[in-house]
Amino acid sequence: MKAEADSRALWLVRLPQAFTGLEAEILHGLGAECVRKTGRDYLLIRIADPSRIRDSAAAKFLRWNLPVHHMWPCRPRETEGFIEKAAQAAWRKFGGARPQTLLAGPLDPGSPNRYFKTLASNLRGRALQLFPPECSSIRDAEQQDAGRETLFLLVGEEGLFCGLGSPLECNGYHPGGTRHIRQTSPAAISRAGAKIAEALHHPALRDVMPEAGAHWLELGASPGGMTAELLARGYRVTAVDRAPLDKRLARADGLQEVCRDVATFMPDAPTRYDAILCDMNGDARNSIAHVVRLAGRLNAGGIVIFTLKLTDAETYQAINDRVDEVVNRAAAAGLGQLAVTHLTYNRHEFTLVLKRGTSPCDDFGFPDHAGGGSIGP
Ligand SMILES: C[S@@+](CC[C@H](N)C(=O)[O-])C[C@H]1O[C@@H](n2cnc3c(N)ncnc32)[C@H](O)[C@@H]1O
């Protein structure tokens, strides 16, 4: 008897190492089966309902995802003419789909061995020669249209995996979601600078990026890695922390340092912010309470970037409950969820992107005077 074809879609999902112990529950939550582990932290899965990769409670655990429309299981190092054959296959299979560009990356981006990084870069270079010239006009991945399809190619010891997806659907501009940012540079004030650089991809993907010159309120700013990154992008920052900022930020243009406990921080009556960043340590339920208290000073349409520390929440259920609790508290204050994601430089924590509704008594039912009335000098 002929075996029935498996109608479930094949997908590549990236599961951060912080959650590898929860793999069985995450797969169950997705309604998916693991075909095999690939690269350092990818799973090749079969899934009956791919919308669960973006909509289910398990989705937040996946850093990046790609439908696998073509794969070539092989050992690239030992395959003669790998680049030429892979580039020709990409052109034959995807040339007609007119992707906005092609981006290639290694399945093991953290590897100190540069072999697959170089192979990916050479593969992109050769494939771009075959695709129409407009595919080459995107020189920086962050120039992509977040909603248009890109051809992503991932290479590693296991071979080649290709798929079409928009950066928004895949959850990041770069293949795998990561752009390697040096964290050990002597100029970096803290690792958190790389974290906010990646976090800012998420408002950019959703077209809600604050303009240069926008005023950020930063809660839990010391020593100032994120502050430095925001200032470098031309933002103004009011940075609140009970610990001082790094001396290198002294007298930085656009910075107002407030050295005190966030609980006692009250902005002057007319002050409004375009965005709030909260990276306070401690229980996320306390941190979100401070954001909620200050959200009355956030302009309509303003965003919040919030590090949701998973203190004492270790199990799949406890993590989901904690995230739901924080998201629900924010929603009750008019801050709607745009993204909950795990970033490359996140540890046992998620990054939330929230947005304040657009009218005085806005779409989230948040009256403008609520919170605002209780905040003042
Ligand atoms: C993870 S660190 C922030 C790192 C920072 N975002 C950076 O880029 O370097 C957390 C900070 O939250 C601050 N913090 C926690 N609770 C606070 C509170 N109630 N008031 C003021 N600062 C607080 C701590 O002092 C600490 O500096």
Q: What is the DSSP string of 56-122?
A: SGGGGG-SEEEE-SEEEES-GGGSTTHHHHHHHHHHHHHGGG--S-EEEEES-TT-S--HHHHHHHH
Nearest CA to ligand 1 atom 15: 280
Q: Which of 101-105, 177-181, 325-329 comes out lowest in average pLDDT?
A: 177-181
What is the atom index within ligand 1 of the atom nearest the CA of 190? 9
* Per-residue pLDDT band at 4 (split at 50, 70, 90): confident
Prior bond to 377 cis, omega within 30?
no
Residues with CB under 6 A from ligand 1: 190, 192, 220-226, 241-243, 261-263, 279-282
Nearest to 167 by CA among 185, 150, 154, 180: 150
Closest CA to 343 of 159, 158, 181: 181
The mean pLDDT value of the chain amounts to 92
Distance 92 CA to ligand 1 centre (A): 52
Q: Ligand 1: distance of its center to the CA of 223 in Å?
A: 8
192-356 fold: Rossmann fold (3.40.50)
**How many angstroms is it from 168 CA to the middle of ligand 1?**
30
Report the DSSP beta bridge partners of residue 44.
Answer: 12, 36
Q: What is the mean pLDDT of residues 223-235?
A: 96
What is the tens place of the pLDDT at every residue in 329-362?
A: 999 999 999 999 999 889 999 999 999 986 443 4
pLDDT tens-digit readout, 67-89: 999 999 999 999 999 999 999 99
For 368, how many CA atoms within 13 A lie in the half-sphere containing its CB? 8
- DSSP-based three-state secondary structure for 339: strand
At 94, the amino acid letter reads F
Q: What CATH number does domain 9-177 carry, 3.30.2130, 3.40.50, 2.60.40, 1.10.3470?
A: 3.30.2130
Residue 369 has pLDDT above 50, yes or no: no
- pLDDT for 188: 80
Read off the pLDDT of each residue in 139-143 and give the average, rounded to a whole number.
94
265: pLDDT confidence band, cut at 50, 70 and 90?
Answer: very high
What dihedral angle (degrees, nearest 10) is formed by the CA atoms of 314, 315, 317, 320? 40
- Cα separation, 63 vs 45, in Å, equals 15
pLDDT band at 201 (very low <50, low <70, confident <90, very high): very high
pLDDT tens for residues 174-193? 999 877 655 555 568 888 99
Sheet holding 215-219, edge to edge: 255-259, 236-241, 215-219, 273-278, 298-309, 349-356, 335-341
The rounded radius of gyration (Å) of the Cα atoms in the chain is 22
Section 131-136 average pLDDT: 96
Mean pLDDT of all residues in 157-186: 86
Parse the chain into domains and list their residue ranges.
9-177, 192-356
The per-residue pLDDT for 375 is 25
pLDDT of residue 371: 33
Rounded Cα–Cα distance for residues 144 and 167 (Å): 8
Ligand 1 atom index nearest CA of 195: 8
Backbone torsions φ then ψ of 315, nearest 5 degrees:
-85, 165
Residue 288 has pLDDT above 90, yes or no: yes
Task: State the Cα–Cα distance between residues 193 and 183, nearest whole angstrom.
Answer: 8
- Distance between CA atoms of 294 and 69, rounded to whole angstroms? 46
Minimal-distance CA residue to ligand 1 atom 1: 281
Per-residue pLDDT, 368: 38
Give residue-wise pLDDT tens across range 21-39: 999 999 999 999 999 999 8
Of 54-63, 116-125, 149-158, 177-186, give the lowest mean pLDDT range: 177-186
Determine which helix (DSSP H) or strand (DSSP E) holds 9, and give its type and residue range. Answer: strand 9-14
Please report the atom of ligand 1 found closest to the CA of residue 243: 25
Other Cβ atoms within 10 Å of 325 Cβ, number: 15
Collapsing DSSP to helix, strand or coil, 261 comes out as: coil
CA 323 / ligand 1 centre spacing (Å): 20
pLDDT at 361 (0 to 100): 38
Instruction: Look at residue 363 in the predicted model and tell me its pLDDT.
Output: 39
Q: Which band of pLDDT confidence, cut at 50, 70 and 90, is reported for residue 253?
A: very high
3-state helix, strand, coil in the chain (%, to 5): 35, 25, 40
- Segment 209-227 mean pLDDT: 97
In percent, the amount of the chain with pLDDT more than 90 equals: 85
- Distance between Cα 253 and ligand 1 center (Å): 21
